[in-house]
Structures are given as C-alpha cells and as structure tokens.
C-alpha cells in the first residue's frame, strides 16, 4: 500500500509540474508613459516600437493618463519613439 501511495503522489506531482510549465510564455511586454517637459501626461500620443533586428514596427496610442503598453512582442531590442 505504501508503494501505491508513492506512485500516486509522484503522478500528481508530475501533472502539477507539467500544467504549471504551460503557463510560460516566449513573449515580451514593453510599457511606460509619455510625459511633456513639465512632467504632465500626454494622452493620445502615438508610440512606436521598432524591433531593431527585424525592422517590425508596432504602434499604440497612449491612454488618457499617457500610458502605453506593447504586449506579446517577440523578445529583442526595440527603439521606442513617441509623437503627438
């Protein structure tokens, strides 16, 4: 009976480890805020993230609080620019 309990415990542990490993992601997120020289938030600014290796460009617009977020980017080096 003890061996059966150990086998069940090991199986449960393996299932837990495998299910938690699926939560890993190969994506990156870049976030920040756009402010003017006085430090005030800049809403509705166009923010561009360009992957410097691939040249792929992604564009977002800042929120009312000047915040932007680029979710699910391919990991790499990015050049970020903002324009209003």
Q: Is 64 within the bounds of a domain?
A: yes
Helix segments in 1-84, DSSP class H: 2-21
Count: domains in the chain: 1
Domain that holds residue 53: 25-83
* Predicted local confidence at residue 26, as pLDDT: 82
pLDDT band per the 50, 70, 90 thresholds, residue 24: low
Token representation of residue 22: 């699926």
Name every residue whose Cβ is closer than 8 Å to that of residue 76 and which is 6 or more positions away in sequence.
28, 51, 52, 53, 54
* Intra-chain end-to-end CA distance of the chain, in Å: 71
Q: What are residue 61's phi and psi, to 5 degrees? A: -115, 140
Specify if 69 maps to a domain: yes
With cut-offs at 50, 70 and 90, classify the pLDDT of residue 20: very low
pTM: 0.69
């Amino acid at each position: 009976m003890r061996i059966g309990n150990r086998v069940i415990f090991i199986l449960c542990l393996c299932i837990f480890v495998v299910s938690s490993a699926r939560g890993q992601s190969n994506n990156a997120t870049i976030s920040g805020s756009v402010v003017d020289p006085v430090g005030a938030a800049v809403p509705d600014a166009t923010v561009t993230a360009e992957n410097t290796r691939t040249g792929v460009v992604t564009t977002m617009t800042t929120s009312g609080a000047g915040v932007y977020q680029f979710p699910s980017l391919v990991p790499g080096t990015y050049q970020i620019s903002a324009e209003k």
